[in-house]
């Protein structure tokens, strides 16, 4: 089973604050993804990457930056956090990114922006 | 990308078989059907995927109608651990992004 870890698991910041969410996968997967999930709804894709140094725009990218520093590590950056970014954030990885490939999800980071 | 429609909620007793339906009336020939589930406080977990006919694995089975406009996830002998949100996802096999578009899913409640 693929291992995807996220840190921190919980984060509180204030409006305008600077937040970095970290994700690491240890299965040599090429693709990594950042999603957000708001209460009672499904996940929405923010950004994704198919390798170190690569970044692709997802469906809800506004207000977020991301960086893939290595094959293992993918970071989500909120440089001016707003209350609308209060959410549960999930990272995922997959091997090929193909439609038949399975995504493996981390445990999530709960972010509260006051 | 085809839009999916699922019942918002279902209930079952332990030991029952549960069938969760998903309508994808505009599914394209290049689109594939996935099912994921999410238990509270965890990320989604892959269950099964298929393109047509019938697929089975150790966890569930998936029936896809001949016109591919309807799929049904079948969970045999549900237990309390199967209480989760079940997501039906349709994705294009011709793209190479792995993007998954989640809807609101079906909340399955399992009663003892």
Residue A104 domain-assigned?
no
Q: Which band of pLDDT confidence, cut at 50, 70 and 90, is reported for residue B3? A: confident
- Residue range B30-40, pLDDT digits in tens: 889 999 999 98
Residue A100 domain-assigned?
no
Q: Which residue, chain included where needed, has tokens 């406080």? A: B41
Contact: A45, B103; criterion CB under 8 Å: no
* CATH number, residue A18: 2.60.40.10
The domain tally of chain A equals: 1
Q: What is the pLDDT of residue B91?
A: 86
Q: What distance in Å separates residue A60's CA from the closest CA in chain B? A: 12
Contact: B97, A94; criterion CB under 8 Å: no
**Spans of all domains in chain B:** 9-111
Q: What is the pLDDT of residue A67?
A: 97
Contact: A102, B92; criterion CB under 8 Å: no
Contact: B95, A99; criterion CB under 8 Å: yes
Using the predicted structure, report yes or no on whether residue B1 has a pLDDT greater than 70: no
Contact: A42, B103; criterion CB under 8 Å: yes
Chain B residues within an 8 Å CB radius of A25: none
Residue A56 domain-assigned?
yes
Provide the domain limits for residue A64. 4-95
Using the predicted structure, report yes or no on whether residue A2 has a pLDDT greater than 60: no
Q: Which two tokens stand for residue B4?
A: 């999916």
Mean pLDDT of B89-110: 85
- Residue range A68-113, pLDDT digits in tens: 999 999 999 999 999 999 999 999 999 887 767 889 999 999 999 9
Q: Under CATH, which number does the domain B9-111 receive?
A: 2.60.40.10
Q: What is the pLDDT of residue A36?
A: 97
- Residue range A21-32, pLDDT digits in tens: 999 999 899 999
Residue A103 domain-assigned?
no
Residue A66 domain-assigned?
yes
Parallel, antiparallel, or unpaired for β B106-111 and B9-13? parallel
- Report the mean per-residue pLDDT for chain B: 92
Q: What is the pLDDT of residue A99?
A: 65
Q: Which two tokens stand for residue A60?
A: 């809800």
Chain A residues within an 8 Å CB radius of B98: 31, 33, 48, 94, 96-99, 101, 103
Mean pLDDT of B55-72: 95
Q: Which two tokens stand for residue A68?
A: 């893939």
Q: Are B66 and B10 in contact (CB under 8 A)?
A: no
Q: Which two tokens stand for residue B39?
A: 């238990």
Residue A28 domain-assigned?
yes
Residue A108 domain-assigned?
no
Q: What distance in Å separates residue A110's CA from the closest CA in chain B? A: 10
Q: Which two tokens stand for residue A100?
A: 């038949």
Q: Which band of pLDDT confidence, cut at 50, 70 and 90, is reported for residue B61? A: very high
Nearest to B98 among A31, A105, A107 (CB): A31
């Amino acid at each position: 089973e693929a291992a995807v870890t996220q840190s921190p698991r919980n984060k509180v910041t204030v409006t305008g604050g600077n937040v970095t969410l970290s994700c690491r996968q240890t299965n040599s997967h090429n693709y990594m993804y950042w999603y957000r999930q708001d209460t009672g709804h499904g996940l929405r894709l923010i950004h994704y990457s198919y390798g170190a140094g690569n970044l692709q725009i997802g469906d809800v990218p506004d207000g977020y930056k991301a960086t893939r520093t290595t094959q293992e590590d993918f970071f989500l950056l909120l440089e001016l956090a707003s209350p609308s970014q209060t959410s549960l954030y999930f990272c995922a990885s997959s091997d090929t990114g193909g439609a038949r490939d399975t995504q493996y999800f981390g445990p999530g980071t709960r972010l509260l922006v006051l | 990308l085809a839009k999916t429609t699922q019942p918002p909620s279902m209930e079952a007793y332990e030991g029952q078989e549960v069938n969760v339906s998903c309508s994808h009336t505009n599914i394209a020939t290049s689109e594939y059907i996935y099912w994921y589930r999410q238990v509270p406080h965890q990320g989604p977990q892959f269950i099964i995927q298929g393109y047509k006919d019938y697929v089975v694995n150790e966890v569930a089975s998936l029936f896809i109608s001949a016109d591919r406009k309807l799929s049904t996830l079948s969970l045999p002998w549900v237990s309390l651990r199967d209480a989760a949100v079940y997501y039906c996802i349709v994705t294009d096999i011709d793209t190479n992004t792995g993007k998954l578009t989640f809807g609101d899913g079906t909340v399955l409640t399992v009663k003892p």
